[in-house]
Structure 1
Amino acid sequence: MMKALIFGAAMLAAGGAVAQPFDYGFAGLMANKNRETLAPLTLGSGKPVAEEEYELKSGTYYKMNIVADGSAELALSGGDFFRAIWINEIVINKIEIRPMGVHSLEFDDAGEAEISFIAITPGSYTLSIPGSSGESQRAVFNIR
């Protein structure tokens, strides 16, 4: 640290410019204008979770709502999907949660959660209702 300060001071004294910290580009990537909104996932007794598969692009910022109607206590589980994305935040009742990792989200009553994330690892992933086996009880995410 001290060497960096001495080097920076020497560069300024010599009339040189000091390099700026590297910009990883997240500020631009995560701007609202760069975010794509996905069709919501629905949790309801006997209702399909998603209408069709989601086609995502690696490196793209997405926002998606998960809506539960309260007809049953239901969860969405999918550790592989959650490890294939970087979660910016999950918002529940205007409370922003910035998790290090997620395995599932469970709704005991009617409610809504909004998740914003960047798709990272290409592959096909599912979020499904634990214990269910029906095709309509899961959402498929294909990251390219």
Structure 2
Amino acid sequence: MHKLICAAFVALFLADPVAAAPLCAELGFAGLLAKCNRGEPIEITLASGKPLGKGDVTLQSGAYYEMRITADGSAELAITGAPFFHAIWMNEIVINGIEVRPMAIDSLEFDEAGTATLSFVAIKPGSYEVKIPNTTSDSQKVSISIQ
């Protein structure tokens, strides 16, 4: 009897279209990676003494995004945000044409100028931040909310 109640409970919540909430109604063969399910790219800039981003970012759970992290080479800088990186499903990280498909990451460090593109699906709702480690300024972090 307990198994039947649990199964009914799970079926009720999985049948609700609001639970997954992708950006498009018909995902097709590509599923969550479908073109219609892609949100706006997130731009992060690593530069000595400059802001990391242009403000707070809001993502939708179940939607596909790209985060482009560009370092200008002015300093050896890293970006960290383990709680955020663990709240997403990472599709791949592309660095100089090399595709890496990690299980999870904690941080990325840039020793010289370059760009890394992270593609992912936002999963776990909550408030997160990515920032330059060991900094306290609000301009050295980007607040990210997954709804």
* Residues 42 and 66 in structure 2, CA contact (< 8 A), matched pair in contact too: no
| Change in 2 beyond 3 A, CA 1:90/1:74 | same
**RMSD after superposition:** 1.3
Residue 33 (structure 2) aligned to one of 9, 30, 33 = 30
Q: 1:62 maps to what in 2?
A: 65
Cα distance in 1, alignment partners of residues 51 and 29 from structure 2: 34
Residue 85 (structure 2) aligned to one of 82, 86, 89 = 82
Task: For residue 35 of structure 1, report the CA deviation from its aligned partner.
Answer: 1.7
- Runs of 4+ in structure 1 off by over 4 angstroms are none
Q: 1:118 maps to what in 2?
A: 121
Q: Gaps (5+ residues) in structure 2?
A: 1-27
Q: Does 1:72 align with 2:75?
A: yes
Cα distance in 2, alignment partners of residues 78 and 136 from structure 1: 15
Cα distance in 1, alignment partners of residues 108 and 101 from structure 2: 14
Instruction: Calculate the TM-score normalised by the size of structure 1.
Output: 0.79
Task: For residue 26 of structure 1, report the CA deviation from its aligned partner.
Answer: 7.5
Q: 1:100 maps to what in 2?
A: 103
Q: Which digits, 9 at most, give the CA deviation of each residue in 1:73-98, with x for residues without a partner? A: 00000110001001000000011100
* Residues 80 and 107 in structure 2, CA contact (< 8 A), matched pair in contact too: yes
SS at match of 2:42: coil
Q: 2:13 maps to what in 1?
A: none
Return 31-40 or 72-81, whichever deviates more. Answer: 31-40
Cα distance in 1, alignment partners of residues 85 and 67 from structure 2: 13
Return 33-42 or 64-73, whichever deviates more. Answer: 33-42
* Residues 42 and 48 in structure 1, CA contact (< 8 A), matched pair in contact too: yes
Instruction: Calculate the TM-score normalised by the size of structure 2.
Output: 0.78
Aligned residues: 120
Q: 2:139 maps to what in 1?
A: 136
Cα distance in 2, alignment partners of residues 114 and 63 from structure 1: 7
Cα distance in 2, alignment partners of residues 121 and 132 from structure 1: 26
* Residues 38 and 63 in structure 2, CA contact (< 8 A), matched pair in contact too: yes
Q: Could you say which structure has the higher helix fraction? A: 2
